[in-house]
Amino acid sequence: MEPERKGLSLASSSDGDRREENKLKQGISQDLASSSRLDRYKIARQLTEKAIQEKKIFSIYGHYPVVRAALRRKGWVEKKFHFLPKIIPDVEDEGAPVNDDTCAKVKENQEMALEKTDDIHDVMSRLVKNEMPYLLWTIKRDIIDYHSLTYDQMLNHYAKTASFTTKIGLCVNMRSLPWYVPANPDSFFPRCYSLCTESEQQEFLEDFRRTMASSILKWVVSHQSCSRSGRSKPRDQREEAGSSDLSSRQDAENAEAKLRGLPGQLVDVACKVCQAYLGQLEHEDIDTSADAVEDLTEAEWEDLTQQYYSLVHGDAFISNSRNYFSQCQALLNRITSVNPQTDIDGLRNIWIIKPAAKSRGRDIVCMDRVEEILELAAADHPLSRDNKWVVQKYIETPLLIYDTKFDIRQWFLVTDWNPLTIWFYKESYLRFSTQRFSLDKLDSAIHLCNNAVQKHLKNDVGRSPLLPAHNMWTSARFQEYLQRQGRGAVWGSVIYPSMKKAIAHTMKVAQDHVEPRKNSFELYGADFVLGRDFRPWLIEINSSPTMHPSTPVTAQLCAQVQEDTIKVAVDRSCDIGNFELLWRQPVVEPPPFSGSDLCVAGVSVRRARRQVLPICNLKASASLLDAQPLKARGPSAMPDPAQGPPSPALQRDLGLKEEKGLPLVLLAPLRGAAESGGAAQPTRTKAAGKMELPACPCRHVDSQAPNTGVPVAQPAKSWDPNQLNAHPLAPVLRGLKTAEGALRPPPGGKGEGTVCSCLPHQGHDVAACQTTGTTWDGGPGVCFLRQLLASELPMGPGEGASFVRLGGRSCSPRTP
């Protein structure tokens, strides 16, 4: 028992020691954690201050882990969005709905954004929460208020790019290519029509019928070529075929016997349609009237269309087609020389119908019957038909790899729109279909290579095992395949330069439609399909191309293109990765300024004074002595006739004779009835309705002379217009004072109240006034009151209401 007790005591003591040791280690780890946390905060603060000084603050809206990691390695600090995003769809174009997988990604991204850890980057993000981000990387442009950004804020999107990132925009704008570059859009872009207008639908219908006629010619040529090739086989090859070939030929003959025979008139009508089409291209229909052209009726078109359907679907044949072989071959050669899309048209006349502004292959269908296509376009509600559907010619003869269709995703980067600067990425990848290619079935799984469509499908059992299970190749792997096929030079001589040319042409057309914001950039993804002659055909261009690493190919290339985009657009260094400069628009320099002296010749315009009534300078005329004066409210300015004539001394001062007195007329301005009181109103003539200003026959008197009366008005007589000169009234009245009847002295004048009252009389021809320097206006007999007119003193509210006494000095010098 004792050894057992000793063993238990030793065990308990060892357990206690172990617990003490664990506590000690835990305390040490906590101290180390606290110290390391403090050090991490200091480091984070130093890095943050450096980033703020260098303006390296960025914000990311979306799932871009590669971009975030690349920017952090370059010293950038992330400012996280403090609001929850509505939806962060991983889309390739604007206006795309969100599926369940995208919503799951959004939820995951939100949880990651809201999770608060002790990572140093999270500490730095909290330190810059009040700073302005200088780089905004978003999945869609609409998330950010585009116009509220400052000049030094970078954004990875441009505004108004729908002219080439939507199917309807690309369809419409590619028609304007010849106005920008000397190139034919039909040489790299399959012809396309918008089904939202009746005119576009009519153009599509005519195109469908022309393609149908040329397909009939192709059927004749191909059928005779197959027959001749079968007859031209060597005898030993026919014998090696054995009974199997014999049975197959018998089955073919029996099947042909069951088919419905079509008349040779079908070929004649098709040749007629093709000849009319060639005549339009060669402008032979310019001098031909519209009535002279014999076009087919709608019933004849319907009959031709149904016969064509039977022919290409294998339900009928043309029995005597060999008689039309040479004619059809010649017409096809002429059509091929003017129409670069003759080879991709094929025989089935298949068209692909796409939604105008959707991506990732949604709602895309292939059809080969024109009535079904037009019915689909007319099925929508009229209010939602605008820009709804786009129909494009399907490439019926694509290049196949192991009997499987594929397309090419090619990236390019635009860093400036004015001048236009395009960067082309050297690497691309191929996307394969999960099914073997066939035109007998118009299933989207066969004809659409979008990864969003193919990832939900299983690979066909009969597909070649040489194709990868994830249905993607890199462009380097494709070049190896071409090398094994003996066509290794095709990539560098045909495919790659043709894709570069197509992108450059498309961007030049779209340049006038995009908003050219400086300090922005955007990465685009273009889709190409190769024809049998290895020529690439542009299908569409996607904004915000997917960067999800869904396969080993995309995991490698998508991460690489994002890092290279940062090198070109953000770092702007010499290292541009796998990008190469595709096009940089030459900067147009303004014409040199000649530096010639420019001058303006003319007279300055002075501000017009207040409009006033004129003052009359009257010549010596006895006919004006009878003018009717105004009555004054205050002391009259006119001498009373009862007092008799003026004294001889006054007459000498005035320079007048008793029998030849000249009245000096001063007119009062017109006032309203309420102000004038009992003052006389100006008279008007009955004939013309014009105002006649009254005249007052007054003579200048001294201010000390008594003034008790007002002269009686005389009957008005007719005025001679040659005896009247008009001058402004207000400058004369500004020097008058009606309250006391005295004359206000003008500034700068000699003496006080000096007025030139030297009135002319017979034998008195004076050139100038000796006292005031007043000159005569015109000929003898008129005194122009220059000194009064030059007065700048304003008039009082009661001044100018009546005639006033002309006080002050006369022309004769007197001692005051």
Work out the angle at residue 614's Cα, subtended by the Cα atoms of residues 612 and 619, and round it to the nearest 5 degrees: 165
Q: Is 589 helix (H, G, I), strand (E, B) or coil?
A: coil
Contact indicator for 532, 404 with CB cutoff of 8 Å: no
pLDDT band at 233 (very low <50, low <70, confident <90, very high): very low
Per-domain residue ranges of the chain: 39-83+118-155, 162-189+398-584, 200-226+257-338
pLDDT band at 459 (very low <50, low <70, confident <90, very high): confident
pLDDT band at 60 (very low <50, low <70, confident <90, very high): very high
The average pLDDT across 614-643 equals 46
Instruction: Please report the pLDDT score of residue 638 as a whole number.
Output: 46
| Strand-pair partners of 351 | 367, 393
Instruction: Please report the pLDDT score of residue 446 as a whole number.
Output: 86
Residues 584-593: tens digit of each pLDDT = 998 766 667 6
Burial 524-563 (b: 16+ CB within 10 A, else e): bbbbbbbbeeebbbbbbbbbbbbbeeebebbeebbbebbb
Instruction: Please report the pLDDT score of residue 39 as a whole number.
Output: 80
The span from the CA of 810 to the CA of 321, in Å, is 128
Q: Which two tokens stand for residue 534?
A: 């290895």
| In the predicted structure, residue 155 carries a pLDDT above the cut 90 | yes
The pairing of beta strand 683-684 with beta strand 579-584: unpaired
Instruction: Kindly tell me the burial class for residue 587, based on how many C-beta atoms sit within 10 Å of its own C-beta (0-12, 13-18, 19 or more).
Output: exposed
Domain 162-189+398-584 has CATH 3.30.360.10: no
Q: Specify the amino acid at residue 484.
A: R
The span from the CA of 284 to the CA of 280, in Å, is 6
Work out the angle at residue 531's Cα, subtended by the Cα atoms of residues 310 and 584, and round it to the nearest 5 degrees: 140
pLDDT band at 367 (very low <50, low <70, confident <90, very high): very high
- Among candidate residues 742, 749, 738, the one with its CA nearest the CA of residue 792: 749
Contact indicator for 339, 388 with CB cutoff of 8 Å: no
Residues 378-402: tens digit of each pLDDT = 876 544 544 578 999 999 999 999 9
Poorest-pLDDT segment among 233-242, 345-354, 455-464 = 233-242
This prediction's pTM: 0.65
In the predicted model, what is the mean pLDDT of the chain?
A: 73
Instruction: Tell whether the torsion through CA atoms of 438, 443, 446 and 450 is positive or negative.
Output: positive
In 111-200 the beta strands, taken as DSSP E runs, fall at: 135-138, 154-155, 192-194
Residues 493-552: tens digit of each pLDDT = 999 999 999 999 999 999 999 999 999 999 999 999 999 999 999 999 999 898 989 899
Higher pLDDT: 11 or 475? It is 475
- Among candidate residues 48, 421, 386, 338, the one with its CA nearest the CA of residue 198: 386
Q: Which two tokens stand for residue 585?
A: 């628009």
Q: Is 770 helix (H, G, I), strand (E, B) or coil?
A: coil
- Among candidate residues 593, 668, 597, 606, the one with its CA nearest the CA of residue 636: 668
- Among candidate residues 347, 389, 395, 397, the one with its CA nearest the CA of residue 372: 389
Instruction: Please report the pLDDT score of residue 663 as a whole number.
Output: 45
pLDDT band at 321 (very low <50, low <70, confident <90, very high): confident
Contact indicator for 457, 438 with CB cutoff of 8 Å: no
**DSSP characters for 384-438?**
G-TT-EEEEE--SSB--BTTB-EEEEEEEEEEEETTEEEEEEEEEEEEE-SS---
Contact indicator for 135, 117 with CB cutoff of 8 Å: no
The average pLDDT across 685-706 equals 44
